[in-house]
Amino acid sequence: MLASLIPILVALLLGAMAPGPSFVLVTRTAVTQSRRNGLAAAVGMGVGGTFFGTLALLGLTALLTQVAWLNMALRLAGGLYLLYLALRMWRGAGTPLGKAAGTPLGKAAGTPLGKAAGTPLGKAAGTPPATGAGTPADGRAPSLARAFVVALATQLSNPKTAIAYASIFAALLPTQSEFGGPPPHLPLFLPPVIFLIEAGWYSVVALAFSLEAPRRAYLRAKGGIDRVTGTVMGALGLRLMADAVRDAALAR
């Protein structure tokens, strides 16, 4: 039985690794906030993936394919949320980062970035430290809970993910067992595995992008990077909304 599940595990891993809004958000969280916040975002991605995977296993994704208005409404809402994130990235592009995760940028890697660069963080940006995009105005870093919730909302912003899970399961899951149907343990086995795959991959991403070198590179080109990531996030949101409208039109 385990051997028959290897193809689906590989498909789930490749799906998690595909670039998209989730990847953009986790990398930016790890770079601009802290390693802990990046890992909290990774957990949020894992929970969101588990939610969609469980829906697919329970067959509830059929509701999304049969009720066109619900599918379109959820996808439009998801697209608007991604556009909201994109707008926040653009608005914060010109703001010096100041402190991330309540410490000088780079401390998560073991050393304040200002020391590594030979100058305080504010001077490296050309102005005194200030709050950056996604950082509360009082200078406190976004909490772990906020990083988790934003990541979870981003993962849930595209209900097509649930349909993708359903497609993978329909194509690759074993359909017969000694009980004459799908193996009865799958609804218990697969959700934790989905969580480990999603959260595990994005934890690797968060750990990699919270290192000092990526953080220093981000500080040097913060404005441009924020605008590029904001543009990518906005484009993904617009595509999600356009696909929703197109599919609804074709279904008529």
What ranges make up the beta strands (E) of the chain? 99-100, 103-104
Gap between the Cα atoms of 78 and 83, Å rounded = 9
Gap between the Cα atoms of 116 and 213, Å rounded = 10
Q: Can you give the pLDDT at residue 135?
A: 45
0.85 exceeded by pTM: no
Residue with tokens 């993910």: 161
Interacting residues of 228 by C-beta distance below 8 A, sequence separation 6+: none
Give the helix/strand (H/E) hosting 19. Answer: none
Average pLDDT over residues 170-177: 66
Gap between the Cα atoms of 203 and 193, Å rounded = 15
Of 22, 182, 175, 36, the C-alpha closest to 102 is 36
Q: Which amino acid is at 76?
A: L
Q: Can you give the pLDDT at residue 127?
A: 38
pLDDT in tens, 78-94: 899 999 989 988 988 88
Q: Is the pLDDT of residue 120 over 60?
A: no
Gap between the Cα atoms of 85 and 146, Å rounded = 14
DSSP 3-state assignment of 91? Answer: helix
pLDDT in tens, 40-73: 999 999 999 999 999 888 877 777 777 778 878 8
pLDDT in tens, 201-234: 999 999 999 999 988 888 888 889 889 989 998 9
Average pLDDT over residues 234-251: 86
Q: Can you give the pLDDT at residue 136?
A: 45
Q: Can you give the pLDDT at residue 220?
A: 84
Lowest-pLDDT range of 46-55, 104-113, 233-242: 104-113
Task: State what percent of residues in the chain have pLDDT above 90.
Answer: 31
